[in-house]
């Protein structure tokens, strides 16, 4: 990674033809897939800034310690393993996975890391961050759309033999429909593998009240500016609408709710990308993003229903973040 050329594997799910079709379809369906908010260098830099400003893991020392406790426990469980592979799904900037690596490297080990992300930029940034703490490890960044890369684990398995596997899925579950991503995540692990998982929580005893309390972490200028970038880049006249932020229940499971961003059209909008035309009428709502909030009890139930067993869990004092050590059941 530190030489002038970096090798990045691009899975077919992120080949330009498929990417472009889904990108255009999002404008027609008035539902933007969150993966398109990380795509350009500009967008990923904006997201990294939000993460540095609002993420409990960067602003709350207690939250960092929660991750460290999970990582220490993971290192203990894998004490006798000298060969490891780390598959970091949706690695983002790689902050959490780098901390994990430094805990695993208190003894000499042969480690291969796969930072996996939909964004080339973030896969590379993350690989670089991990390499800084583990210069002797091997790195293979992979770019894919996890929802359309069901064969990825077989492709990785082909490259690896005899290494114990750790899969991380940090801060990912909030932005996916659980019924879409969890069967895919389950495919990444077999009995004996370790899955480390984290979720944003709704603090306190009253679930909905807890979600209301964390809305300011979303409803702010940095986040709105990040989410509107996809529209301005597509040539949408954004002064013809406004962004609203609201809490809504999941359609299939009313036990869970999410914070959703909509672009509300106030004056008709017409735009064209290549030969595709888009017309949004007054009153149309374009969903830009959503983020589910959970509780630890809900995570146990949800993961259990997809064959994933939570062995240990940690929450920060503010109950805004939960970290879970899991295995295939
Ligand atoms: C909320 S961030 C979490 C980043 C990191 N794991 C952390 O906890 O800081 C979500 C990450 O998932 C990536 N992502 C979004 N949709 C994806 C998809 N369909 N497939 C793979 N990665 C995706 C984004 O690029 C981003 O890096």
* 8 Å CB contact between 226 and 233: no
Q: Which residues pair with 280 in a beta bridge?
A: 269
Share above pLDDT 70 across residues of the chain, in percent, rounded to a whole number: 99
Statement: residue 274 has pLDDT above 80: yes
Higher-scoring residue by pLDDT: 31, 159: 31
The confidence score (pLDDT) of residue 107 equals 86
Q: What is the pLDDT of residue 279?
A: 98
What's the confidence (pLDDT) of residue 160? 78
Q: Is the pLDDT of residue 3 over 70?
A: no
For residue 172 and ligand 1, the question of a CB distance below 6 A is answered with: yes
**Beta-sheet pairing, 142-143 with 110-117:** parallel
**Whether 187 and 256 share a structural domain:** no
Q: Is the pLDDT of residue 161 over 80?
A: no
Examine the domain organization and report whether 188 and 172 are in the same domain.
yes
Together in a domain, 120 and 151: yes
CA dist list (Å): 49 to 93, 165, 184, 234, 248? 11, 31, 29, 22, 26
Q: Determine the residue of 14, 57, 118, 130 to mutate for testing ligand 1's pocket, defined as the one with the most ligand atoms within 8 A of the Cβ atom.
A: 118
**Locate tokens 């692990």: which residue?**
189
Q: Looking up tokens 């300011």, which residue turns up?
A: 216
Q: Point out which residues pair with 243 in neighbouring strands.
A: 263
User: Is residue 1 predicted with pLDDT exceeding 60?
Assistant: no
Between CA 291 and CA 296 the distance in angstroms is: 16
**Token pair 């909008």 is at which residue?**
269
Domain span at residue 287? 207-293
pLDDT in tens, 106-146: 888 999 999 999 999 999 999 999 999 999 999 999 999 99
pLDDT at 2: 55
Q: Does residue 177 share a domain with residue 92?
A: yes
Q: Write down the pLDDT at residue 319.
A: 95
Q: Separation of 283 CA from ligand 1 center, angstroms? A: 31
Do 173 and 219 lie in one domain? The reply is no
Structure-token match 């969890």, residue found: 182
Distance 270 CA to ligand 1 centre (A): 31
Q: Of 290, 289, 288, which Cα lies nearest the Cα of 231?
A: 288
Cβ proximity of 37 and 289 under 8 Å: yes
Q: Is the CB of 176 under 6 A from ligand 1?
A: no
Pocket test for ligand 1, best of 15, 172, 180 (most atoms within 8 A of CB): 172
Ligand 1 within 6 A of CB of 64: no
- Distance between alpha carbon 293 and the CA centroid of its chain, in Å? 14
pLDDT band with cut points at 50, 70 and 90 for residue 92: very high
Query: Is 150 found in the same domain as 63?
Result: yes
Q: Kindly report the average pLDDT of the chain as a whole number.
A: 95
pLDDT, tens only, 275-310: 999 999 999 999 999 999 999 999 999 999 999 999
- The CATH number of residue 170's host domain is 3.40.50.150
- 274 and 316 belong to one structural domain: no
Ligand 1 within 6 A of CB of 47: no
Task: Indicate whether residue 118 lines ligand 1 (CB < 6 A).
Answer: yes
Number of domains comprising the chain: 2
**Cβ of 38 below 6 Å from ligand 1:** yes
Residue at 21 is within a domain: no
Q: Does one domain contain both 176 and 315?
A: yes
123 shares a domain with 60: yes
SS3 state of residue 21: helix
Would the CB of 178 count as within 6 Å of ligand 1?
no
From the CA of 110, how far away is ligand 1's center (Å)? Answer: 26
> How does pLDDT run across 199-252, given as a tens digit for each residue?
999 999 999 999 999 999 999 999 999 999 999 999 999 999 999 999 999 999
- Provide mean pLDDT across the span 96-105: 96
Quick one: average pLDDT of 147-153? 96
Ligand 1 pocket member 50 (CB < 6 A): no
DSSP class per residue in 22-64: HHHHHHHHTB--GGGGS-SHHHHHHHHHHHHHH-HHHH-HHHH
| Contact 122 CB / ligand 1 (< 6 Å) | yes
Residue 16 lies in a domain: no
């Amino acid at each position: 990674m530190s030489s002038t050329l970096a090798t990045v594997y691009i899975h077919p799910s992120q080949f330009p033809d498929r990417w472009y079709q889904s990108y255009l379809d999002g404008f027609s369906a008035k539902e933007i897939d969150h993966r398109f908010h990380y795509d350009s260098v500009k967008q990923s830099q904006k997201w990294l800034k939000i993460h540095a400003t609002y993420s409990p893991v960067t602003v709350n020392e207690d939250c960092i310690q929660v991750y460290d406790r999970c990582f220490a426990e993971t290192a203990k469980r894998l004490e006798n393993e000298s060969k490891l592979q780390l598959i970091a799904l949706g690695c983002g900037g790689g902050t959490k996975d780098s901390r994990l690596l430094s805990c695993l490297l208190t003894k000499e080990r042969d480690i291969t890391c796969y930072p996996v992300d939909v964004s080339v930029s973030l896969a590379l940034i993350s690989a670089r961050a991990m390499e800084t703490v583990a210069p002797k490890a091997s790195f293979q960044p992979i770019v894919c759309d996890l929802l359309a890369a069901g064969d990825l684990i077989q492709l990785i398995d082909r490259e690896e033999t005899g290494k114990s596997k750790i899969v991380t899925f940090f801060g990912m579950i909030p932005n996916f429909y659980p019924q879409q991503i969890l069967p895919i995540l389950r495919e990444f692990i077999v009995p004996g593998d370790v899955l480390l998982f984290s979720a944003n929580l709704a603090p306190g005893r009253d679930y909905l009240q807890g979600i209301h309390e964390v809305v300011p972490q979303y409803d702010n200028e940095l986040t709105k500016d990040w989410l509107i970038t996809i529209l301005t880049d597509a040539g949408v006249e954004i002064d013809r609408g406004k962004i609203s932020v609201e809490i809504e229940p999941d359609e299939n499971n009313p036990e869970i709710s999410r914070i959703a961003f909509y672009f509300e059209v106030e004056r008709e909008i017409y735009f064209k990308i290549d030969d595709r035309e888009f017309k949004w009428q007054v009153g149309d709502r374009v969903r830009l993003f959503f983020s589910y909030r959970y509780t630890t009890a809900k995570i146990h139930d949800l993961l259990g229903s997809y064959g994933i067993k939570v062995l240990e869990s940690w929450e920060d004092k503010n109950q805004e973040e939960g970290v879970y050590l899991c295995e295939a059941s």
